[in-house]
Amino acid sequence: MSDRECIFCAIIEGHAPAEVVFEDGDTLAFMDINPANPGHTLVIPKRHIQDIYGMDEDTAAAVMGTVVRVAGAIKRALQPEGMNLVQSNERAGGQDVFHFHMHIIPRWYGDGLRLARPPEVRRTMPIKEAAGRIRREVAKVRTIAAAYTDICCGKK
């Protein structure tokens, strides 16, 4: 499944340029066009999946396998002092490209990158309350994709 409007689908299909570093049957890894740091790489499923809510477990495993492989290659190739994996969902979560992607961002001491927002703009909830709500939902369904289907269909 691909999306005609999606820039990452265009890259997969060879209709848009990309600096590809790894490819297998299910996934593609390529350099971010606007890198936060040298070596900033994106890993995507070849199937057009919008975000984490549409993800299935097999594709997630394939994407994570490629993330592990490419992260190791970046470590050996560029010798960063640290590494962040970042994945954003929905506009409020900072997602700009609506084809699921994992950012692999090499880090160096003093690089000045800030991935977290300052505490004053955070919403708050007691940890126990948040944990209780999540536990009730996570017990109901086996996969996030199934949970999303339930939400879409108006089930509890």
* Residues tagged active-site: 101
Q: Report which of 62, 67, 30, 57 is spatially closest to residue 45, judged by C-alpha positions.
A: 62
Q: How far is the CB of 2 from Zn ion (least distance, A)?
A: 6
Q: How far is the CB of 85 from ligand AMP (least distance, A)?
A: 12
- Contact range with ligand AMP by CB under 6 A, out of 77-85, 94-102, 115-123, 136-144: 94-102
72 lies in the site for ligand AMP, by CB under 6 A: no
Binding partner of 99, given Zn ion, ligand AMP, none, CB within 5-8 angstroms per partner class:
Zn ion
- Measured CA to CA, the distance from residue 99 to residue 102 in angstroms comes to 10
Are 29 and 43 in contact by the 8 Å Cβ rule? The answer is: yes
Q: Give helix 144-152 / helix 127-140 axis angle, nearest 10°.
A: 90
- Measured CA to CA, the distance from residue 28 to residue 46 in angstroms comes to 7
Q: How far is the CB of 140 from Zn ion (least distance, A)?
A: 29
Q: How far is the CB of 5 from Zn ion (least distance, A)?
A: 8
- Select from 40, 46, 47, 99 the one that contacts Zn ion (CB under 5 A): 99
Interacting residues with Zn ion between 24 and 53 (CB under 5 A)? 48
34 lies in the site for ligand AMP, by CB under 6 A: yes
Three-state SS sequence of 56-105: CHHHHHHHHHHHHHHHHHHHHHHCCCEEEEECCCCHHHCCCCCCCCEEEE
Q: Report which of 104, 109, 68, 66 is spatially closest to residue 85, judged by C-alpha positions.
A: 104
Interacting residues with ligand AMP between 36 and 55 (CB under 6 A)? 42
Q: Which residues bind ligand AMP (CB under 6 A)?
A: 7, 16, 18, 32-34, 42, 88, 94-97
Residues near Zn ion (CB under 5 A):
3, 6, 8-9, 48, 99
